[in-house]
């Protein structure tokens, strides 16, 4: 980072600490000294490209950052500023006071069905919102979902630094493909993400939180995943078998919804968030009917409340 960049970073945005670092850049918690030291998140994105490719990436970054800055949704961090400096790209975003869901599940244990249902009901409308604006998230996972410490709504979808416009120029040969192994659908790994890819990742995220089972690696670097495996036919999910072995109760109707969200074949998967929400509403209506019938029965102590 040049001296000029350092002055801009440290003069307007006073660094408090580094929040994270990876192959695509570094994230800082900063104070905006121009706005009475309000907390912000500043992301420096690394673009290892040259010449015309770098110019295309910079143009796309500015176009997409402008699109994200126009978002107005309570569950999406506000983008306050964006700029270029010495071939690096910077985003300044709203700071969310809270914790991510990976930390939550590791500290408090797996999510029960009621909590999974709440997760879907809170985040599917967010997907519907961003998809209606022709934007994909492309990296949905527990680490990118924050639970706000106070005020509602609680769940916030973060890290839109990876978001790109449909059919973006970054899909061209040689471009970086952004996804997290173990959460991304096949079409996304092949460089052709679509709204169904975000639905897939949200479905996988739900399964990880429900079972508290996350991918790991053996001594040779091979990925180990107890919820799925590959064979000659492709990807096979075995999460229901794992849940049964771990004595994790899963209602069949909810399982059917999750299965359709993570369907490897795009044609058999939900195509949009509204389809998933419609099935969830039918599930809730059915459950309400069961509860009503049970309460009207002399056997109401046998209530079938499976979302606990």
- Positions annotated as catalytic residues are 139
Q: Where are the alpha helices (DSSP H) in the chain?
A: 3-12, 51-69, 101-108, 113-132, 186-189, 195-211, 239-245, 252-261, 273-295
> How many angstroms separate the CA atoms of 198 and 130, rounded?
10
| 3 state SS of 165 | strand
Instruction: Please list the residues that pair with 42 across neighbouring strands.
Output: 28, 92
Of the candidates 93, 89, 65, the one whose C-alpha atom is nearest the C-alpha of residue 79 is 93
Burial of 123 (0-12, 13-18, 19+ CB in 10 A): buried
User: Which residues have CB under 8 Å from 52's CB, separation 6+?
Assistant: none
SS3 content of the chain, % helix, strand, coil (to 5): 45, 20, 35
User: Which residues have CB under 8 Å from 105's CB, separation 6+?
Assistant: 111, 142, 208, 209, 212
Of the candidates 110, 166, 159, 182, the one whose C-alpha atom is nearest the C-alpha of residue 133 is 166
> How many angstroms separate the CA atoms of 34 and 205, rounded?
38
Instruction: Return the DSSP state at 302.
Output: G
With beta carbons less than 8 A apart as the criterion, state whether 39 and 95 touch.
Answer: yes
Place of tokens 């849940």: 243
């Amino acid at each position: 980072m040049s001296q000029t960049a350092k002055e801009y970073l440290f003069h307007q945005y006073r660094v408090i600490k580094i929040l994270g670092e990876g192959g695509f850049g570094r994230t800082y918690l900063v104070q905006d000294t121009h706005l009475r030291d309000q907390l912000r998140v500043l992301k420096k994105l690394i673009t290892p490209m040259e010449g015309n490719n770098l110019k295309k990436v910079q143009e796309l970054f500015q176009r997409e950052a402008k699109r994200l800055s126009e978002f107005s949704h309570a569950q999406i961090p506000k983008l306050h500023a964006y700029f270029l400096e010495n071939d690096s790209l910077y985003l300044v975003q709203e700071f969310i006071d809270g914790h991510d869901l990976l930390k939550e599940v590791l500290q408090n244990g797996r999510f029960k069905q009621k909590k999974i249902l709440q997760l879907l009901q809170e985040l599917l409308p967010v997907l519907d919102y961003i998809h209606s604006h022709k934007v994909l998230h492309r990296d949905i996972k527990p680490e990118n979902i924050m639970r706000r410490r106070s005020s509602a709504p609680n769940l916030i979808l973060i890290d839109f630094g990876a978001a790109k416009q449909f059919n973006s120029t970054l899909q061209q040969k040689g471009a970086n493909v952004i996804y997290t192994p173990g959460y991304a659908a096949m079409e996304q790994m092949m460089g052709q993400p679509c709204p169904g890819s975000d639905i897939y990742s949200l479905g996988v995220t739900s399964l990880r939180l429900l079972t508290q089972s996350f991918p790991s690696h053996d001594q040779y670097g091979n990925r180990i995943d107890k919820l799925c495996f590959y064979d000659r036919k492709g990807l096979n999910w075995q999460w229901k078998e794992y849940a049964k072995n771990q004595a994790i109760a899963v209602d069949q109707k909810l399982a059917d919804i999750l299965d359709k969200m993570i369907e490897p074949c795009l044609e058999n998967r939900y195509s949009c968030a509204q389809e998933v929400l419609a099935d969830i509403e039918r599930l809730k209506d059915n459950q309400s009917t069961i509860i009503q019938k049970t309460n009207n029965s002399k056997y109401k102590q046998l209530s079938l409340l499976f979302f606990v």
